[in-house]
Structure 1
Amino acid sequence: MTTDTRPLAGKVALVAGGTRGGGRGIAVELGAAGATVYVSGRSSTGGRSDLDRPETIEQTAEQVTAAGGRGIPARTDHSRPDEVRALADRIAAEQDGRLDILVNSVWGGDPLTDWEHPLWEQDLDTGLRLLRQAVETHVITSRFALPLMVRRKTGLVVEVTDGNTARYRGTFFYDLAKSAVIRLAVAQAAELKPHGVAAVAVTPGFLRSEAMLEQFGVTEANWRDGVARDPNFAHSETPAYLGRAVAALAADPGIMAKTGRALATWGLYREYGFTDADGTQPDFAAHWAANLEEEYGPLGDPL
């Protein structure tokens, strides 16, 4: 491969929550761009997390390596500061203190999300657990990973979210979690800017994660069969699309111009020219504007 096809060769990344979905897509595409990628999460060959899904950090790490990078699985519960501190210390020891890219993609909130009831009818313990899982884990991870970037005066933090506008996301705790993650990017950007480190939030469109494919009763090979159930599914995108967006950001020498912003695959593909795995360029915002805005209103003002 030429240098142009491996713009992240020599770079070190940590993808927290890289077991599946968008996190896996990001990890693999960072690897395809040449990076060494630590893939962390709770689901490993040694045991499943409480989500009880089959995907593992080892599988993701193998895909990173197969794509051209170096994948390193690191079983970590990101809600436990001691485990995250140990992971940061491990990266520092193994990579001579280097960490160029931090991706906070921990989620695991799907089974905790109540889409049917307003706040006053929801189970409070479950809602607060969702916030701890989806927001506190990001804070803990940044607390121990950021010093590696600050010392070297360079790096990129990516907070993975859902949506890049102020639009309400359909249920209280989910909306609060995804909005809070954007504010994490804004706050980190403000504090990191004097140190030459950028922080952004990035959202996919309609993501065809493993769980979403299962929900539609399809596989990636025959995913278009799901369009009969929901026509909007025709405008969905693979985790690779999100991964290529993040890889493009990480390779951009002018990334500081974007620090503090909430970005989306549907805007970044226009700037960087990347495609989805099948060569298409899904644009869910354009689809929304043309087909859903009249019924549901605009996506909302940018955050």
Structure 2
Amino acid sequence: MSLAGQIAIVTGASRGIGRGIALQLGEAGATVYITGRKPEHSHNTAVGLTGLEETAEEITKRGGKGIARFVDHSNMDEVKSFFEAIDKDHQGQLDILVNNAYQAVTVILENVGTPFYETDPYIWDTVNNVGLRNHYFCSVYASRIMVKRNRGLIVNVSSTGGLRYLFNVAYGAGKQALDRLSSDMAVELKSKKVCVVSIWPGAVHTETINKMFKNEDGSRKEGTVKNDRAFRKGETVEYAGKGIAALAADPRKMEKTGKTLISEDLGKEYGFVDIDGTTPPNLRSVNSILEHLGWNTTAAFIPEWIKLPGWLVWAGTCRL
């Protein structure tokens, strides 16, 4: 599974899933450009410059080449200039784009449980400017480079929030739109041999999630048993990255274009486990779904390998 010689971009890679994806692409040998805001534009200045540069250094240590670039993904002029520089510096080569940049984690967590009509309507822009509009712009500029070479992979990091209510109205609308963006772009890019997919990671142990559910010594905080049920067996930040790296190296990846992929399904197909040696639950696993609903006793009798077919998951959440 070598990506040596390939040029990749992972947006929003200072930490979390973006960082994990970038590390795995680098481990496979790719040159990986990672983007993030400058410290003064970041909600968490402790990450800022240090986080982005540390990620780039770790990519290089793992065998790839990490290059940090500060890009404010709420500023489309900066986004355009960034892609123009990639095009020029690599003579029109771009093999992989992973749209992961997101700026709404904090505001989403602060407003969980508050009805949309009691929330400042500008939360829509906070959630969907970088998390959706920016992804469209990045995909346009990346596609202009990729179609000239008749090859490429665009991955949009999405979630099950595109299926049914999760967190708030703006979040779900944005994620469903992102999945539709992937499928529709795939229609127009198929003849150009550019593969476009959405990926749904499961519950992921990001830095933010760990702060919510764990004490400094790593023990679970009291009173969070119900809320952290999905995360006890969750993925590391690098598991989805393993799947994307495997997909990028797959000569038959065009067979998946337009699809929404689940990280654990990729693990089964390509034969890998998480970096901690575990196999995270599948979002389609009946066992995991029942556990998430709090039906632990029933779930204990159902093997984790029993899964709902994808078509049934979609059919069960259709709105007529």
Name the TM-score, length of structure 1 as normaliser: 0.89
* Deviates most, 139-148 or 98-107: 139-148
SS of 2:180's equivalent in the other structure is helix
Q: In the alignment, is residue 244 of structure 1 matched against residue 225 of structure 2?
A: no
Contact 2:214 2:221 in 1 (8 A): no
Q: Deviations over 1:81-109 (max 9, x none)?
A: 22112111211122121100000001111
SS of 1:201's equivalent in the other structure is strand
How far apart, CA to CA, are the structure 1 residues paired with 2:127 and 2:282? Answer: 26
Q: Deviations over 1:155-204 (max 9, x none)?
A: 10000011286232242111112222111211211111111100000011
**RMSD, matched Cα:** 2.3
* Number of the residue aligned with 1:262: 260
How far apart, CA to CA, are the structure 2 residues paired with 1:128 and 1:241? Answer: 29
1:226 corresponds, among 220, 224, 248, to 220
- State the structure with more CA Rg: 2
CA-CA distance at 1:121 after TM superposition: 1.8
CA-CA distance at 1:256 after TM superposition: 0.5
* Number of the residue aligned with 1:49: 41
* Number of the residue aligned with 2:93: 98
Kindly report which structure 2 residues correspond to 1:105-120, keeping only aligned pairs within 5 A, or say none.
Answer: 105-113=100-108, 114-120=111-117
Kindly report which structure 2 residues correspond to 1:1-303, keeping only aligned pairs within 5 A, or say none.
Answer: 4=1, 7-43=2-38, 47-55=39-47, 56-113=51-108, 114-163=111-160, 166-218=163-215, 223=218, 225-226=219-220, 229-230=224-225, 231-285=229-283, 286=285, 287-293=287-293, 301-302=313-314
Contact 2:162 2:173 in 1 (8 A): no
Gaps spanning 5+ residues in structure 1: where?
none
CA-CA distance at 1:136 after TM superposition: 0.9
Q: Deviations over 1:232-286 (max 9, x none)?
A: 3321111110110111111111111000111111211110111111111111422
Contact 1:164 1:263 in 2 (8 A): no
Letter in 2 for 1:216: F
SS of 1:131's equivalent in the other structure is helix
Contact 1:198 1:255 in 2 (8 A): yes
Contact 1:241 1:277 in 2 (8 A): yes
CA-CA distance at 1:290 after TM superposition: 4.2
How far apart, CA to CA, are the structure 2 residues paired with 1:226 and 1:79? Answer: 35
Percent of counterpart pairs with the same letter? 35
Q: Name the CA shift for 1:290/1:119 in 2 (closer, same or farther; >3 Å).
A: closer
Q: Name the CA shift for 1:182/1:10 in 2 (closer, same or farther; >3 Å).
A: same
Contact 1:12 1:36 in 2 (8 A): yes
How far apart, CA to CA, are the structure 1 residues paired with 2:28 and 2:276? Answer: 18
* Number of the residue aligned with 2:318: none
Q: Name the CA shift for 1:210/1:48 in 2 (closer, same or farther; >3 Å).
A: farther
Letter in 2 for 1:142: S
